[in-house]
Structure 1
Amino acid sequence: MSRSRPTTPDAAVQVTVRGDVPDDAVRYAEAKVAHLDRYAAQPVLASHVVLTVSADPAVAWPARAEATVDVGGTLVRAHAGAADVTRAVDALEDRLRRTLLQHQDRERTRHRWTGVATEGEWRHGDLPTERGPFFPRPPETREVVRRKTFALAPMTLDEAAFEMDLLGHDFYLFTDAATGKDAVVCRDGDGGFAAGGETTAGAGMVEVRETPAQLTEAEARARLELSGEPFVFYLDPDTGRGQVLYLRYDGHYGLITAAGE
């Protein structure tokens, strides 16, 4: 069951709660989201926050905070999960602030994600992360020495590219918010961005509608070795979730896996 708490004119934030959400957490969310208008490129017309607490003890992150902010007619969304509502709101505030700054940056330049900047303009992505050379380890001696599994948060292609930029990574595995499919965004080598998987394009990016291959780990290794690319994005044949096998700079492999349902 969900309920909505009316907002005050000053806060201009509507909060909907689902589950056992304390009233002080609602007030906390109102205050945290209301002050973010300072980061908006245009006037904030409305803000809606959804706070959810799951009663399922098996859920790793039972508290979830989601927000939709209407910035001059453009909807900006963010969400976060945590062990409790307060932490989820804190994480939501941080992500929403960064998303609003990203939107503000787009308002300043139409070339935010195209790899084209005007003279004297600095953008995320102008200078890809500098890496040292790969250790020339023979393919037959390579091993998967690092494995990570993440619960992927749904986001837009723009949001994923922005997260990748903030982290300084060369690729970023995510679930596309529009299609519900796992996808990957990466640098295209020319200061821009490219995407793989069934995803919907963001501003200045090419729409991609391509179902990645289902591969075993051994098949992914073989493809990576033959292609000479830094990583391969594929679907696990058992779970159907996205995976990225990548070449580490010590010459071994790393594997990033989307957590199953």
Structure 2
Amino acid sequence: MKRSAPQQAPEIQVETQGEMPPGAAEYAQEKVRALTGRTREPVLYARVRLTRMANPAMQRPAIAQANLDVNGRPARAHVAATTMTEAVDLLQDRLAGRLGRLEQHWEARRGRTPAPGPHEWRHGDEPAHRPGYFPRPEEERQVVRHKSFSLARETPDEAALELEAMDYDFHLFTDIGTGEDSVLYRSGPTGYRLAQVHPHPHVDGPVAVPLTVSDLPAPRMNVADARQRLELGGFPFVFFADDATGRGNVLYHRYDGHYGLISPVE
């Protein structure tokens, strides 16, 4: 990536929590600023959060997160490592991938979409750097966050771009071709899997990303049933159709050991 015009250096805000090595905040600023100087579109703002977990049971207690505003479009990254310096280095690498995905999006809008290569949509080794879940006892877990919003109407390709740019484990959206509430998640080294409330075996229109489609409908249940399935199955998340509304919901594990719920606004 290279700049088309000189850019003003963005504000880079760094927040820390827990015990930090000397110069950790400045090191994070330096690493993120190095990326913002190489983007085609201007980075308007960047926020970095460094957290050192006190739990001795965690193998990778150093967590680094970043949220960028790239000319009005968000980009996010989230990594964990054994030391904070390693976490910041991994964060820089992961952000570079996020910004590369955004660059592809802008090129596609200009009519110059390149054919995706084996690792063009995602890096095969990235998931290994994600933070692990806090080993909270099952009886202590609660649904501590409930996000409800209008789902984006987009194609699977656009959903994959959103998943990668925001560094999500999954992305809940409404498939613009079928009108179905759907969830997209990673499958295999470089591919994606699409599940829908009412599955359609054939995707409407061409798809650039390597994609498979589940032929199983989303189970219809309430949040308590979804929680039980999540706990028994050991899955990172459960996609289900709410038994009252029929809309697609996702119940997922949070890194603090609790649960989060995403549901669409009616």
CA distance in 2 between counterparts of 1:247 and 1:220 reads: 12
CA distance in 1 between counterparts of 2:107 and 2:150 reads: 25
The verdict on how the C-alpha distance between 1:193 and 1:182 changes in structure 2, with shifts beyond 3 A counting, is same
Instruction: Confirm or deny that 1:109 pairs with 2:115.
Output: yes
From 225, 230, 235, give the equivalent of 1:229: 235
CA distance in 2 between counterparts of 1:131 and 1:105 reads: 34
What is residue 216 of structure 1 aligned with on the other side? 222
How far is the alpha carbon of 1:105 from its aligned partner? 10
What is residue 164 of structure 1 aligned with on the other side? 163
What is residue 128 of structure 1 aligned with on the other side? 126
**Matched position secondary structure for 1:229:** coil
Instruction: Confirm or deny that 1:182 pairs with 2:188.
Output: no
What is residue 32 of structure 2 aligned with on the other side? none
Q: Is the radius of gyration larger for structure 1 or structure 2?
A: 1
The verdict on how the C-alpha distance between 1:189 and 1:146 changes in structure 2, with shifts beyond 3 A counting, is farther
**RMSD of aligned Cα (Å):** 2.9
CA contact (8 A) 2:192 2:212 kept: no
Instruction: Confirm or deny that 1:147 pairs with 2:153.
Output: no
**Matched position secondary structure for 1:146:** strand
CA distance in 2 between counterparts of 1:153 and 1:110 reads: 23
Q: How high is the TM-score relative to the length of structure 2?
A: 0.53
Alignment length (residue pairs): 161
What is residue 66 of structure 1 aligned with on the other side? none
Deviations 1:146-204 (A, max 9, x none): 11001012111111011111111110000011111100001125232111113554233
* Percent of residue pairs bearing the same amino acid type: 41
What is residue 245 of structure 2 aligned with on the other side? 239
CA contact (8 A) 2:193 2:213 kept: no
Long gaps (5+) in structure 2:
1-39, 42-71, 74-101
CA distance in 2 between counterparts of 1:98 and 1:171 reads: 20
CA contact (8 A) 1:244 1:255 kept: yes
CA distance in 2 between counterparts of 1:123 and 1:106 reads: 16
CA distance in 2 between counterparts of 1:123 and 1:231 reads: 22
Q: How does 1:47-66 map to 2 (within 5 A)?
A: none
Q: How does 1:189-200 map to 2 (within 5 A)?
A: 189-197=188-196, 198=199, 200=202
CA contact (8 A) 2:195 2:213 kept: no
What is residue 137 of structure 1 aligned with on the other side? 136
How far is the alpha carbon of 1:131 from its aligned partner? 1.7
- The aligned amino acid for 1:145 is V
CA distance in 1 between counterparts of 2:215 and 2:111 reads: 27
Q: How high is the TM-score relative to the length of structure 1?
A: 0.54
How far is the alpha carbon of 1:141 from its aligned partner? 1.3
CA distance in 1 between counterparts of 2:108 and 2:171 reads: 17
CA contact (8 A) 1:102 1:162 kept: no
